[in-house]
Every structure is written in C-alpha cells, then in structure tokens.
Amino acid sequence: MAGQETHYILPRAEFDAPVKLLIVVAPYYKDIADNLVAGAKAEIEAAGGTWDIAEVPGALEVPTAIAMADRQCNFDGYAALGCVIRGETTHYDTVCNDSSRAIQLMGLQGLCIGNGILTVENRKQAEVRADPADQNKGGGAAAAALHLIALSRKWGASRKGVGFKPPSESILLAGDSNGPKTA
C-alpha cells in the first residue's frame, strides 16, 4: 500500500529574489480542493513566496487558465490543482489524460508547473491525498513548481560563457549577398 512506503522529498527550494506562483484550482469537489489549496499556500509561503489564485470549472480548464496567465501575466510558476474521481463512463480517462498531457506539454515548453490534479478511484483516496496533514499533494505540487523555478533561475542565469544561445539572444546584422550574418 502506497501510504506505508517511505519516499525521499527534496529539501525546500530557496530563492534570492522574490517568487510568485499562480494556484489554478478546479473546485469541483470543494472540500478536497480547499485542502489542496491549503497545502499549496503553506508550501509557497514556507519558501518565502507569494501566490495568487484562480478558480476554473473543472480539471480540463486548468491548463487553459495556466496558458492564459503565462501569456498575460508575470508569474514565475504554477500549481495545477483539482480532483478527478473515476465514475461510470470513459469521461474520467479523457479528463485525466488530456489535462495531464496539456500540463506536460506546457512544462516541456519551459513553464514551471507542479501538477496536483488528483486522479483517483474513490473519494477516500482523494481525501487522504489532499489532506495537508497526510499526503499533502497540494503542497507537493507547489514544491514541484518551486523546484522548477529554482532550476530555471539557475540555468537562465548561466547564459554567458559556454553553451547554446536561443535565437532571441542572437543579433542579426545586415548581410551581404549571402544573407544575414549572426554576431
């Protein structure tokens, strides 16, 4: 049983500059969502960060809200929170797979997202995972985002010297007949 196993948890991420996260939550199961949010807030605050919160109707809307916030706001990272409990139809599989896939794709594009959307068989499993005093998956999602932010800042600050530069850092000069030159 997973509850009896021990797991290694990374030490809390530390920051020299302020960090701000957006908690995006689908409060379909309000009590479970409230526990996830409580865990996320506590973890962000313990790391010295601040947070804002956005509620969306369901787990499928969580990635869309994160993408919108990334385009229009200035957050360092995101905690995606919600709960999907298996029902009698295949809708469960669609919601679980599509929300997770969208979050993963945004992460691969460089967004710092901790995925705390619970995908469970029953309410009891959700309650245990959401409880800040038990498995604290909301806190875990925030911690994951914070660790990714720390890595992003570490690696983003080391652009000078060796390594590849993204095209946005290259300066294009007016070229000769062979086309533009990169300096």
Q: List active site positions.
A: 91
Whether 50 contacts 85, CB under 8 Å: no
Q: What count of other Cβ atoms lies within 10 Å of the Cβ of residue 128?
A: 15
Whether 133 contacts 127, CB under 8 Å: no
Facing residues of 50 across strands?
20
Whether 24 contacts 60, CB under 8 Å: no
Distance CA 40, CA 44 (A): 6
3-state SS, 134-155, equals: CCCHHHHHHHHHHHHHHHHHHH
Instruction: Count the alpha carbons within 13 Å of 52 in the hemisphere toward its beta carbon.
Output: 12
